[in-house]
Every structure is written in C-alpha cells, then in structure tokens.
Copies of this chain bind each other. A is one copy, B any other.
C-alpha cells in the first residue's frame, strides 16, 4: 500500500517533469545518486569472446558497464531469471531499473512488480515487452520502453529466410548432404518457387511492412491483415492487398507470416479452428511470439499434413523445454529465439538502451515511439 502511494507520487513527478522539466524533478532523477540496474541477458559462455561486437550476452552486458559504473551506478548482469533463488529474484526488492530482452525473457509478473519497491523503469533491449505484465506495470506507475525499430530489419530478413526454407524444402536437402545421401526426388517432390504464390501477413506493422517490401521483387500475390490499412503509397509500392477479415484471408494463402504483437487479443489466435481455416498444405512462419499459436494445435496440424511446414524462432516458454512438441513435429524449421539478436541488432539495441538510460538519469523523455507503458497507459498495439 505504501508502495502504491510512492508510485503514484513518482508518476505525478514524472508527469510534471515531462511537461515542465522543473529543476526539482530533474534533480529527482539526476542526483538520485547510485542506481541499481539489473540486466538479464543470455549467457555467451565460450562464444562471448569470439566477437568483439557480441554485446548482447551477459558477458557483453550491452557494452555499458564501464559507462554506468563510472557514474557510480551499480550494474548487475545475469542470465539466472527463474524461481525464488535466482539472481534476478534476489535483486528485485531494491533494483531501480531492469533491462530485459525477448531472447531470454525475464518474466516480470505482477508479483515481482509488487516486490520491486524501488523499480522505476523497465527497458526491453529489443522489441516486444509481452514478458512483462504490462497492466500490472501500468497500475504501478512504471515506465516500460523498448528500442523500437532496433531489430525490425533483422526480423523481417529472417522471415524471408524462413519462407524460402519452407517453400524450397531446404532442410531435407541439407540433411542428405551431411548424411552422405543423394536423393533429389526426396526434396524436389515438394519444393516450389516462391514466385506466383500467395503470401499473407497477419499484422503489417514495422516488420510486416519491411517483409512486404522485401517480397515485392519475388512476384507473389501479397495480402495483409491488420486493424488499419497501411499507407496507400506503400500499398501501391508493394502491391499488397488489404484483407479486413482475417478468416477470409487465411484460405487464400500458400504462406502465412505472423507479424502481430502478443496481446490479450492475439494470445492463442491460431487455435485448432483457425488453423483448420487455412489451406491444406499451408506454410506458416512465426517470428512474432510463440503464444499466438496453440502449441499442440500446431504440432497436430504438422503431423496431419494440414500445415506442410512451420518455421519460427519464438516459443512459449523460453527457453523451450527439451520436450516442447515443436522440436519433434514433422516439417518444422525451428530455431531458438535469434532473429532479432544479430550482431547488427545488438549494437543498435545496446545504443538505444544507453540512450534511454542517459535520458532517464537526466530526467528527459524518451523518443515517443519507444514507450510501451507511460503514465499508466499502454501503447496502442498492446491495448
């Protein structure tokens, strides 16, 4: 209860700040003195030293340790995020800032938020903050922000990769190469050109748009479903057709790509019934979030052949357990969550996190598009 009052006060102060930049509120942040900042990333282990730009792992620590510590802040970095004895849990009660990523998500539950009495700011190094209970964060007056745009190109490129991997039946061919086999028929009987096929994206936000642009020269029929139509100029440029009704679009698609955030509305969107509405033999690419799909329904449809191929880098939960059905279903091309954490993306989201920390310490606003929760409000895509 005391916490809630503090929170409200803090929110009010920040609200004041954003309109006035008063010396008082500036002071609140700038001379708040030593902050405790916790970063939760994936471990680099033996790979950490193999690339000087590998800043996204625990050891790389976004390349901001020296800078933070030179300012007197405490910076704790870990990959140990689950359960009551984890390093993250230990620091929850007194951390000020939590930096997390979608690739190795620190699940920030309402319970953790309640325990985090000093928490001011949740930063996502990357895009997608659904590992945070955003409603709880909003109710607690916290700010949640992402590095919007930092890896949209990375993800869009990776989606095109996965479309081609499935359309061309690439993996059985690779398997033959490494096992000493040579059986062209075993690949070719279900390998197709992408040209002339119908590709539909469920969601045409930043990533969906970049995918449509990259698909344009392949001479496909491009469809998109979203709440709103995209810019008419981009529609013209890509030739993509708007489909207002998702269930009307699905049966037309040879390939479906999921490009929607995980929200209360999209959780479990592709359940057994919706998958049944897709064309028999559909290929599905999902680099958005695993929980948009019904896990078992996807596995069953891959087994029956209704889905002829499924590829993505997102699972629920993450890391995916050893017995996750998507590891074993036929015709999948799954990977761990990697598409948004290329070396190029890491450098961009590390720079974005540093920029937001600098602004936070100075009591300045972030770039508007970075906010996921601001002053008790969720960004529009999460509402």
Chain A interface residues (CB < 8 Å from chain B): 42-45, 47-48, 50-51, 54, 56-57, 103-104, 153-154, 157-158, 160-161, 164-165, 168-171, 173-174, 176-178, 180-196, 213-214, 216-218, 313, 318-320, 322, 326-328, 332-339, 341-346
- Asked whether, in the complex, the Cβ of A327 is within 8 Å of the Cβ of B217, the reply is no
Q: Which B-chain residue is minimally distant from A334 (CB atoms)?
A: B177
Q: Which of A170, A343, A346: most chain B CB closer than 10 A?
A: A170
Q: Which B-chain residue is minimally distant from A187 (CB atoms)?
A: B338
- Specify which of B158, B161, B188, B218 is in contact with A56 (CB 8 Å cutoff): B188
Bound together, the chains give a CA A149 to CA B103 distance in angstroms of 43
Bound together, the chains give a CA A184 to CA B42 distance in angstroms of 7
Bound together, the chains give a CA A164 to CA B338 distance in angstroms of 14
Bound together, the chains give a CA A54 to CA B194 distance in angstroms of 17
Q: Which B-chain residue is minimally distant from A237 (CB atoms)?
A: B217
Q: How far is the CB of A187 from chain B (nearest CB, A)?
A: 5
A-B contact pairs, 21 of them (CB 8 A): A42-B184, A44-B185, A44-B189, A50-B190, A54-B189, A56-B188, A103-B188, A160-B160, A173-B336, A173-B338, A174-B334, A182-B336, A184-B337, A184-B341, A189-B343, A190-B343, A191-B341, A192-B342, A193-B344, A214-B217, A214-B218
- Asked whether, in the complex, the Cβ of B327 is within 8 Å of the Cβ of A194, the reply is no
Q: Which B-chain residue is minimally distant from A165 (CB atoms)?
A: B161
- A344 CB contacts on chain B under 8 angstroms: 192-193, 195-196
Q: Copy number of this protein in the oligomer?
A: 2
- Asked whether, in the complex, the Cβ of A187 is within 8 Å of the Cβ of B345, the reply is no
Q: Which B-chain residue is minimally distant from A194 (CB atoms)?
A: B157
- A158 CB contacts on chain B under 8 angstroms: 164, 168
- Asked whether, in the complex, the Cβ of B341 is within 8 Å of the Cβ of A174, the reply is no
- A326 CB contacts on chain B under 8 angstroms: 177
The verdict on A193 contacting B345 (CB below 8 Å), with A161-B161, A165-B170 known, is yes
The verdict on A335 contacting B214 (CB below 8 Å), with A164-B164, A170-B161, A344-B195 known, is no
The verdict on A170 contacting B45 (CB below 8 Å), with A56-B188, A191-B343, A344-B193 known, is no
- A50 CB contacts on chain B under 8 angstroms: 189-190
